[in-house]
Protein backbone atom coordinates (compact mmCIF):
# COMPACT_ATOMS: atom_id res chain seq x y z
CA UNK A 1 0.00 0.00 0.00
CA UNK A 2 1.53 3.27 -1.14
CA UNK A 3 1.42 6.82 0.09
CA UNK A 4 -0.55 8.22 -2.86
CA UNK A 5 -2.48 5.20 -3.99
CA UNK A 6 -3.41 1.85 -2.48
CA UNK A 7 -2.47 0.13 -5.76
CA UNK A 8 1.12 1.39 -5.74
CA UNK A 9 3.97 -0.23 -3.83
CA UNK A 10 5.35 2.01 -1.10
CA UNK A 11 8.78 1.86 -2.74
CA UNK A 12 7.32 3.29 -5.98
CA UNK A 13 5.77 6.20 -4.08
CA UNK A 14 8.99 6.88 -2.20
CA UNK A 15 10.96 6.73 -5.44
CA UNK A 16 8.58 9.21 -7.06
CA UNK A 17 9.19 11.64 -4.18
CA UNK A 18 12.93 10.93 -4.40
CA UNK A 19 12.95 11.74 -8.13
CA UNK A 20 11.19 15.04 -7.49
CA UNK A 21 13.77 15.84 -4.80
CA UNK A 22 16.58 14.98 -7.24
CA UNK A 23 15.11 17.38 -9.76
CA UNK A 24 15.00 20.03 -7.01
CA UNK A 25 18.78 19.49 -6.62
CA UNK A 26 19.14 20.07 -10.35
CA UNK A 27 17.06 23.24 -10.12
CA UNK A 28 19.22 24.50 -7.24
CA UNK A 29 22.34 23.77 -9.29
CA UNK A 30 20.90 25.73 -12.20
CA UNK A 31 20.04 28.60 -9.87
CA UNK A 32 23.57 28.63 -8.49
CA UNK A 33 24.91 29.04 -12.03
CA UNK A 34 22.42 31.81 -12.85
CA UNK A 35 23.29 33.68 -9.64
CA UNK A 36 27.00 33.11 -10.28
CA UNK A 37 27.57 31.47 -6.89
CA UNK A 38 30.38 29.26 -8.11
CA UNK A 39 30.98 26.32 -10.39
CA UNK A 40 32.18 24.14 -7.49
CA UNK A 41 28.79 24.31 -5.75
CA UNK A 42 27.04 23.76 -9.07
CA UNK A 43 29.17 20.72 -9.90
CA UNK A 44 28.77 19.27 -6.41
CA UNK A 45 24.97 19.54 -6.57
CA UNK A 46 24.94 17.97 -10.03
CA UNK A 47 27.16 15.16 -8.75
CA UNK A 48 24.80 14.52 -5.84
CA UNK A 49 21.80 14.48 -8.20
CA UNK A 50 23.46 12.01 -10.57
CA UNK A 51 24.61 9.79 -7.68
CA UNK A 52 21.11 9.74 -6.13
CA UNK A 53 19.61 9.00 -9.55
CA UNK A 54 22.01 6.09 -10.02
CA UNK A 55 20.97 4.64 -6.66
CA UNK A 56 17.31 5.06 -7.59
CA UNK A 57 17.83 3.30 -10.93
CA UNK A 58 19.71 0.36 -9.40
CA UNK A 59 17.57 -0.10 -6.27
CA UNK A 60 14.06 0.65 -7.57
CA UNK A 61 13.74 1.15 -11.31
CA UNK A 62 15.75 -1.78 -12.69
CA UNK A 63 14.02 -4.38 -10.48
CA UNK A 64 10.66 -2.83 -11.38
CA UNK A 65 11.49 -2.91 -15.09
CA UNK A 66 12.67 -6.52 -14.92
CA UNK A 67 9.36 -7.48 -13.30
CA UNK A 68 7.24 -5.58 -15.85
CA UNK A 69 5.63 -8.39 -17.84
CA UNK A 70 3.97 -6.12 -20.45
CA UNK A 71 7.34 -5.63 -22.13
CA UNK A 72 7.51 -9.26 -23.20
CA UNK A 73 3.83 -10.18 -23.43
CA UNK A 74 2.52 -7.01 -25.12
CA UNK A 75 5.55 -5.02 -26.34
CA UNK A 76 3.52 -2.66 -28.54
CA UNK A 77 0.82 -1.88 -25.99
CA UNK A 78 0.58 1.70 -24.72
CA UNK A 79 1.94 0.87 -21.26
CA UNK A 80 4.90 -1.07 -22.64
CA UNK A 81 5.79 1.66 -25.15
CA UNK A 82 5.53 4.34 -22.46
CA UNK A 83 7.73 2.38 -20.06
CA UNK A 84 10.21 1.72 -22.88
CA UNK A 85 10.39 5.43 -23.76
CA UNK A 86 10.89 6.30 -20.08
CA UNK A 87 13.65 3.69 -19.83
CA UNK A 88 15.48 4.87 -22.96
CA UNK A 89 15.30 8.57 -22.08
CA UNK A 90 16.23 7.80 -18.46
CA UNK A 91 19.23 5.77 -19.59
CA UNK A 92 20.37 8.59 -21.87
CA UNK A 93 19.98 11.12 -19.05
CA UNK A 94 21.99 8.91 -16.71
CA UNK A 95 24.79 8.45 -19.25
CA UNK A 96 24.92 12.19 -20.00
CA UNK A 97 24.81 13.02 -16.28
CA UNK A 98 27.67 10.66 -15.47
CA UNK A 99 29.70 11.99 -18.40
CA UNK A 100 29.10 15.65 -17.45
CA UNK A 101 29.86 15.12 -13.77
CA UNK A 102 32.87 12.96 -14.60
CA UNK A 103 34.39 15.51 -16.95
CA UNK A 104 33.71 18.23 -14.37
CA UNK A 105 35.35 16.19 -11.61
CA UNK A 106 38.57 15.90 -13.61
CA UNK A 107 38.52 19.51 -14.86
CA UNK A 108 36.69 21.47 -12.13
CA UNK A 109 39.47 24.02 -11.96
CA UNK A 110 38.98 24.87 -15.67
CA UNK A 111 35.77 26.87 -16.06
CA UNK A 112 36.14 26.96 -19.85
CA UNK A 113 35.84 23.15 -19.99
CA UNK A 114 32.40 23.37 -18.41
CA UNK A 115 31.44 26.35 -20.56
CA UNK A 116 32.09 24.29 -23.69
CA UNK A 117 29.52 21.76 -22.49
CA UNK A 118 26.77 24.29 -21.79
CA UNK A 119 24.57 23.08 -24.66
CA UNK A 120 24.93 19.45 -23.56
CA UNK A 121 24.01 20.52 -20.02
CA UNK A 122 20.91 22.31 -21.28
CA UNK A 123 19.87 19.30 -23.35
CA UNK A 124 20.44 17.03 -20.35
CA UNK A 125 18.31 19.14 -18.00
CA UNK A 126 15.54 19.26 -20.63
CA UNK A 127 15.70 15.48 -21.10
CA UNK A 128 15.79 14.99 -17.32
CA UNK A 129 12.61 17.04 -16.93
CA UNK A 130 10.99 15.13 -19.79
CA UNK A 131 12.03 11.86 -18.16
CA UNK A 132 10.63 12.98 -14.79
CA UNK A 133 7.29 13.93 -16.36
CA UNK A 134 7.24 10.64 -18.27
CA UNK A 135 8.03 8.82 -15.02
CA UNK A 136 5.05 10.51 -13.36
CA UNK A 137 2.92 9.43 -16.32
CA UNK A 138 4.25 5.86 -16.00
CA UNK A 139 3.28 5.93 -12.32
CA UNK A 140 -0.22 7.09 -13.26
CA UNK A 141 -0.81 4.45 -15.93
CA UNK A 142 0.58 1.66 -13.76
CA UNK A 143 -1.02 2.48 -10.44
CA UNK A 144 -3.99 4.82 -10.85
CA UNK A 145 -7.31 3.13 -11.53
CA UNK A 146 -8.67 3.71 -15.03
User: Mean pLDDT throughout 39-62?
Assistant: 89
- Quick check: is 125 in a domain? yes
- Quick check: is 82 in a domain? yes
| Overall domain count for the chain | 1
Q: Are 96 and 127 in contact (CB under 8 A)?
A: yes
Q: pLDDT class for 134, splitting at 50, 70, 90?
A: very high
- Quick check: is 110 in a domain? yes
Show the domain range for 136: 10-143
Q: Residue 56 has what pLDDT? A: 92
What is the overall mean pLDDT for the chain? Answer: 84
CA 75 to chain centre: 23
Q: Residue 113 has what pLDDT? A: 67
- Quick check: is 4 in a domain? no
The 10 Å CB-count burial string (b at 16+, else e) for 32-63 is bbeeeeebeebbbbbbbbbeebeebbeebbee
Q: Are 75 and 131 in contact (CB under 8 A)?
A: no
- Quick check: is 2 in a domain? no
- Quick check: is 5 in a domain? no
Kindly report, residue by residue over 67-113, the tens digit of the pLDDT: 776 666 776 778 788 888 999 999 999 999 999 999 888 876 666 76
- Quick check: is 41 in a domain? yes
According to DSSP H, which parts of 57-117 are helical? Answer: 62-66, 70-73, 78-107, 111-116
- Quick check: is 20 in a domain? yes
Q: Residue 71 has what pLDDT? A: 64
User: Mean pLDDT throughout 117-144?
Assistant: 90
Amino acid sequence: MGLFNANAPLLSDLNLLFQIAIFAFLAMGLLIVKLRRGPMKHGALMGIAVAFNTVSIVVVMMPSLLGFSDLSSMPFAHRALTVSAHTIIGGLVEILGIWLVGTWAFNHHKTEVCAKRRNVMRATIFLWLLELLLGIYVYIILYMPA
